[in-house]
Amino acid sequence: MSEPRKAWSQVEISDPRFESEHLRHLTFHSDALGRRGDVSVFVPPGGDLLSGLPLVLLLHGVFGSHWSWAYKGGAHQVAMAMIEAGTLRPLMIAMPSDGL
8 CB burial (10 A radius; 0-12, 13-18, 19+):
middle
Neighbours of 70 (CB within 10 A): 20
- Mean pLDDT, all residues of the chain: 89
Kind of pairing, strands 92-96 and 35-42?
antiparallel
Give the mean pLDDT of 70-90. Answer: 97
Q: Is the per-residue pLDDT at 80 higher than 90?
A: yes
Residue 47 is predicted with a pLDDT of 82
Residue 100 is predicted with a pLDDT of 60
Residue 82 is predicted with a pLDDT of 98
Question: Cα–chain-centroid distance for residue 83?
Answer: 17
Q: Is the per-residue pLDDT at 99 higher than 70?
A: no
Residue 20 is predicted with a pLDDT of 93
- The percentage of the chain sitting over the pLDDT mark of 90, rounded to a whole number, equals 65
Give the mean pLDDT of 65-91. Answer: 96
Residue 32 neighbours by CB under 8 Å, 6+ apart = 5, 7, 8
Residue 98 is predicted with a pLDDT of 79
Q: Are 22 and 60 in contact (CB under 8 A)?
A: no
Give 37's strand partners. 28
